[in-house]
Structure 1
Amino acid sequence: MHVPDGFINAPVSVATGVVAAIGVGVALRGARRELDDATAPLAGVTAAFVFGAQMLNFPVAAGTSGHLLGGALAAILVGPYTGALVVSVVLAVQALLFADGGLTALGVNITIMALVTVLVGYGVFKGLLAVLPKRRSSVPVAAFAGAFISVPASAIAFTGIYAIGGTTDIPLGSMLAAMTGVHLLIGIGEALITTVTVSSALAVRPDLVHGARGLARPLHLVQSPGTQGAAA
C-alpha cells in the first residue's frame, strides 16, 4: 500500500500533502482531549506495535503480500485523533529512515493509510457499537468489522487519487479491481490482528481502551450477611 515516489504526479501529491497536513493538524488538537497521564504511554506502545506490524508481511494470493495498516486498531485503542497521529508518525519514520513509501508521496500515504483508515474504521466501529448490545463483548465484533472495511476503503481512496494524478498507463478499471480484490483479503488479516489485539487489551486493562469507554460494568458493593449483622 505504500505509494512510491513518482507514482502520483506533483500537483496531486502537493494537494494530498495539504490534506494530510490539515488532517494531522486537526488530529493534534483533538489528541489533547484524548490523552492523559494514563493513556499517553498506550499511544507510544500502539505506535511501536503498528510500526513493527507494518514491517511484517503476510502472504495473500498469487505472490502478493499484505501488512497491517493499523488505523482502525490505533483509533479503537487510543482514540481517532491520537490514532491518526500514531499512524502518521509511523509512516513518516518509515519514509525518512527506511525508504518505505516515497517522501514526495508522504501526503498520499498519510491520507489513505492514516486519515481514511481512521475515519472509516472508527466510524464503522462506533456505528456498530450504537446498535450492538452495550457490553464489552461487542467491542471485538465491532473492531473486526471496522478494521476489515477500512482496508478496501483505503485502496479505493488510493484508486481515486490515482485516477486524478496517476503517472502510469495502467487502466483505471484494472487498478480498481486489483486494489480492491487484494485488499479485501488483506482486510481479513487486518481484522484478525485488530480483534486479537483489542481483545487482549480489554482483558488486561479495559479502562485504557478508548473504544470501550462507557461499556465497563459498574461496580457494586456487596456487604456480607455477617458484616451487616455486626453493623446492626
Structure 2
Amino acid sequence: MHVPDGFLDLPTSIATGAVAATGIAISLRLSHREWVDDRKAPMVGIVATLVFAAQMINFPVGAGTSGHLMGGALAAVLVGPATAVLCLSVVLIVQAFLFADGGITALGTNITLMALVTVVVGWWVFRGVMLVLPGRRWSVVVASAIGAFASVPAAAAVFVLLFAVGGTVAVPIDAVLAAMLGWHAVIGLGEAAITALIVSAVMATRPDLVYGAKFERRNRPAVPEAVTA
C-alpha cells in the first residue's frame, strides 16, 4: 500500500504528515509504559525486521495501486501499540529513503496509513475480542488474527477517503475503491494467518515477551486460595 509521490495533492500530503508527526510524538511519550524491562529490547528489533521484510514484497492490485502485508496488529500485540507505531515508522522511513519504496512527500501518508491506522485498529479490535473470549492463551492468538484482518481493509478504506479528497491521478474513485477494499480484504486473510502463526509460536515459547498476553492473564479467573485450618 505504499503511496508514491504525486498520488495525493500537496495539502493532503501536508495534512497526513502532520497527523503522522503527532502520532509519532504521542507514541514516543507512551512507549516507555510498555517497557517493563530490557528483555523486550530484542523483540522490538525482531518485530521491525519482520515487518520490514513483509512490506518489501509488493504486488499490484489494480488502479495504479499495490498491496503487501503490513504487520501493524502483529507489532502491537508483540511489543505494544505505541512501540509498534515507532517500529513501523522507522521501517517506512528506511524504505522511503534507502529503497524508494513509497514517496518522500508521501511519507506522512504512508506512516498514517500503515503505522497509525493498522496499529490503532488492530490493537483495539484485539482488545475488544479479548474482552469476550475466555482468558486462555489461544484467545491471544485468535484475537490477534482478528485484529490483523480488520486492520488491513481499514487502512485501505482510509486511503480511499484520502484519494477522494486529494487524489491527483486520473483514476475513477469507484475503481480505486474496488481495487483497494476488494484485494485488501484478501490480503487481510493472509495477514491474519501469518499474525496468528507468529503470535502462536512466541506464546508457546516465551509468552512473557508478548505484550498482549498480559490481557490474557487479566481475564483468567482468580484461583481461590487454600483454606487453612
Give the TM-score taking structure 2 as reference length: 0.90
Measure, in 1, the Cα distance between the counterparts of 2:154 and 2:95. Answer: 22
Provide the rounded CA distance (Å) in 1 between the counterparts of 2:96 and 2:125.
Answer: 29
- Runs of 4 or more, structure 1, over 3 Å off, are 57-61
Aligned to 1:105: 106
1:130 equivalent to 2:134? Answer: no
**Alignment correspondent of 1:7:** 7
Alpha-carbon distance between aligned partners in 2 of 1:45 and 1:93, rounded to the nearest angstrom: 16
Partner of 2:115: 114
Shift of 1:133: 0.3
* Kept in 1: contact 2:3–2:109 (CA 8 A): yes
Name the count of aligned residue pairs: 217
Q: Is this contact kept in 2: 1:60–1:185, CA < 8 A?
A: no
For the 8 Å contact 2:76–2:82, the answer to whether it is kept is: yes
Return the letter of the residue paired with 1:7: F
Equivalent-residue separation in structure 1 for 2:21 and 2:59 (angstroms): 31
Deviations 1:187-209 (A, max 9, x none): 11111111101001101100110
Q: Which residue of 1 aligns with 2:26?
A: 26
Q: How does 1:61-72 map to 2 (within 5 A)?
A: 66-72=67-73
Q: CA contact under 8 A between 1:150 and 1:187: conserved in structure 2?
A: yes
RMSD of the TM alignment (CA)? 1.9
Structure 1 SS opposite 2:38 = coil
Q: In the alignment, is the contact (CA less than 8 A) between 2:72 and 2:115 conserved in 1?
A: yes
- Matches of 1:115 and 1:89, distance apart in 2: 12
Residue 8 of structure 1 contacts residue 162 of structure 1 at CA under 8 Å; is this kept in 2? yes
Per-residue CA distance 1:111-136 (angstroms, 9 max, x = gap) = 01110001111110000000100111
**Cα distance in 1 between the residues matched to 2:94 and 2:206:** 29
Amino acid at match of 1:167: T
- Name the counterpart of 1:185: 186
Superposed displacement of residue 65, structure 1: 6.8
Matched residue, 2:199: 198
Partner-residue secondary structure (3-state), 1:137? helix
Following superposition, the deviation at residue 40 of structure 1 comes to 1.9
Alignment map for 1:206-221 (pairs within 5 Å): 206-216=207-217
Verify the 8 A CA contact 1:206 1:212 in the aligned structure 2: yes
Q: Which structure has the larger Rg over C-alpha atoms?
A: 1
Q: Give the structure-1-normalised TM-score.
A: 0.89
CA–CA distance in structure 2, aligned partners of residues 214 and 12 of structure 1: 37
2: CA distance, partners of 1:107 / 1:117: 14
Task: Name structure 2 gaps, 5 residues minimum.
Answer: 224-229
**CA distance in structure 1 between the partners assigned to 2:122 and 2:92 by the alignment:** 18
Q: Distance in 1 between matches of 2:4 and 2:61?
A: 21
Q: How far apart, CA to CA, are the structure 1 residues paired with 2:12 and 2:60?
A: 31
Query: Is 163-172 or 191-200 further displaced after alignment?
Result: 163-172
Deviations 1:125-182 (A, max 9, x none): 0000001001111111111110001000000000111111100121222211111001
Within 2, Cα distance between the matches of 1:103 and 1:18? 14
Rounded Cα–Cα distance in structure 1 between residues aligned with 2:174 and 2:57? 29
User: Equivalences for 1:38-117 in 2 at 5 Å?
Assistant: 38-57=39-58, 66-117=67-118
- Segments of structure 1 that go 5 or more residues without pairing to the other structure are 221-232
Give % identity.
Answer: 60
- The letter of the residue matching 1:210 is Y
- Alpha-carbon distance, 1:73 to partner: 0.4
Cα gap change, 1:140 to 1:53, in 2 (>3 Å): same
